[in-house]
């Protein structure tokens, strides 16, 4: 059993979806990002995705790109990311790295897996590599005992969903809208359909990243998914804050609102 397995067992036992929050490491500073992630856990987030800043984030929308650019200009490194993981994992919340493939490959595939495990990381979400291209990563994560999360999308064929799920450990990430990340005003039917298709192919939890920004949206997704993933809305709280302290208050308040949303969905169902 991994820490993610334990988390999903707990949330299933509570009859609710898990709440997973994302922030990039190093924004507004390395310590500031750690404080914000800890505040998210205190507010009710069950697991944390630590973004590894990258100069060509093709799948990230403008909100996340703005924070990532600031982190890169401040000189944030992969070593800083691993330090962030260590500090956040100390809260007891499963802590993953969300990364594009290039930074992992540059750092060294086996080295990255070993150092992430040593830092207490639960695993990694790789946004831009498919399992058939990830043989070295699959071997490295198996050796380190890390979960590895791959993505499926509405455009994925049933065969692609099945092969992706077979190579995945921890949970399947359902990127339920086409295009870049970012908060959206409403939840469409594509999310539910993608979760249903994925669940036909695997017993793993299926978590939805859609652009959730409110407790009501989180509750809507929690009615059919095993986990709700929120990123841009947390980043926006930091970007809009007039001070790091105000940002920490903002992400904690949002975490509480989203946590209430997923728990109300459990009561309603």
State the average pLDDT for the chain.
93
Task: Answer whether residue 202 is part of any domain.
Answer: no
Please check the confidence at residue 1 and state whether its pLDDT lies above 90.
no
State how far the Cα of 123 lies from the Cα of 142, in Å rounded to an integer.
11
Task: Answer whether residue 92 is part of any domain.
Answer: yes
Residue numbers annotated as active site: 49, 60
State how far the Cα of 81 lies from the Cα of 59, in Å rounded to an integer.
19
Report residue 124 as tokens: 């990694």
Task: Answer whether residue 158 is part of any domain.
Answer: no
Stretch (H or E) spanning 146:
none
> Residue 146 in contact with residue 185, Cβ under 8 Å?
no
Task: Answer whether residue 133 is part of any domain.
Answer: yes
Task: Answer whether residue 68 is part of any domain.
Answer: yes
Task: Answer whether residue 140 is part of any domain.
Answer: yes
Task: Answer whether residue 203 is part of any domain.
Answer: no
State how far the Cα of 22 lies from the Cα of 238, in Å rounded to an integer.
12
pLDDT at res. 61: 80
pLDDT at res. 14: 95
Question: How much is the average pLDDT of 17-29?
Answer: 97
Stretch (H or E) spanning 23:
strand 18-24
pLDDT at res. 182: 42
pLDDT at res. 57: 67
Q: How many CA atoms lie less than 13 Å away from 23 in the CB half-sphere?
A: 36
> What angle do the packed helices 158-167 and 189-199 form, to 10 degrees?
60
Please check the confidence at residue 267 and state whether its pLDDT lies above 70.
no
Question: Per-residue pLDDT tens for 208-226?
Answer: 987 899 999 999 999 999 9
Domain of 247 in residue numbering reads as: 3-151+213-268
Question: How much is the average pLDDT of 228-246?
Answer: 96
Stretch (H or E) spanning 4:
helix 3-13
State how far the Cα of 117 lies from the Cα of 91, in Å rounded to an integer.
16
> Residue 222 in contact with residue 260, Cβ under 8 Å?
no
* Residue 176 neighbours by CB distance under 10 Å: 27
CATH code of the domain in which 53 resides: 3.20.20.70
Please check the confidence at residue 188 and state whether its pLDDT lies above 70.
no
Please check the confidence at residue 59 and state whether its pLDDT lies above 80.
no
- What's the total number of domains in the chain? 1
**Residue 225, SS3 per DSSP:** coil
């Amino acid at each position: 059993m991994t820490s993610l397995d334990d988390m999903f067992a707990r949330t299933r036992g509570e009859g609710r979806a898990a709440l997973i929050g994302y922030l990039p490491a190093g924004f507004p500073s390395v310590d500031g990002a750690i404080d914000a992630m800890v505040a998210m856990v205190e507010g009710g987030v069950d697991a944390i995705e630590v973004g590894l800043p990258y100069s060509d984030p093709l799948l990230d929308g403008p909100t996340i790109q703005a924070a990532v650019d600031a982190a890169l200009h401040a000189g944030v490194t992969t070593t800083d990311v691993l330090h962030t993981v260590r500090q956040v994992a100390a809260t007891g919340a499963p802590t993953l790295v969300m990364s594009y493939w290039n930074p992992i490959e540059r750092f060294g595939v086996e080295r990255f897996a070993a150092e992430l495990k040593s830092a207490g990381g639960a695993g990694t979400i790789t946004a831009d590599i498919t399992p058939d291209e990830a043989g070295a990563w699959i071997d490295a994560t198996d050796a380190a005992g890390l979960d590895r999360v791959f993505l499926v999308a509405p455009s994925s064929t049933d065969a692609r969903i099945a092969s992706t799920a077979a190579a995945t450990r921890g949970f399947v990430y359902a990127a339920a809208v086409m295009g870049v990340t970012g908060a959206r005003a409403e939840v469409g039917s594509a999310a539910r359909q993608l979760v249903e298709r994925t669940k036909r192919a695997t017993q793993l939890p299926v978590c939805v990243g859609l652009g959730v920004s409110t407790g009501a949206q989180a509750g809507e997704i929690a009615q059919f998914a095993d986990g709700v993933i929120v990123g841009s809305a947390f980043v926006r709280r930091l970007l809009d804050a007039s001070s790091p302290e105000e940002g920490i208050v903002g992400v904690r308040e949002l975490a509480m609102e989203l946590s209430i949303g997923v728990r109300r969905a459990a009561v309603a169902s």
